[in-house]
Amino acid sequence: MALVQTTKGYMDENLLEKREGSVDNENEFTRWIEFWLDGELVHRSVHVELKKNVLADGMAAMLG
């Protein structure tokens, strides 16, 4: 039994609807997992991997 921390407290993952998605473009790769209970979003986890150094690109634009 896996527990998920939700807006309603810890709940058994088997009681929830799990939805996953991702975005992959030239700047980032983002994955997310959502847990829903009776049509209500009760948990979302997101992981973002930047493909570029956004801070360095911004600083270079300011200096250039």
**Distances 7 to 30, 31, 33, 36, 46 between C-alpha atoms, Å:** 23, 20, 15, 10, 16
Total domains in the fold of the chain: 1
Percent of the chain residues topping a pLDDT of 90: 72
Q: By the 8 A CB rule, do 13 and 20 touch?
A: no
Neighbours of 29 (CB within 10 A): 13
pLDDT tens digits for range 26-56: 889 999 999 999 999 999 999 999 887 767 6
Q: Which domain holds residue 11?
A: 3-63
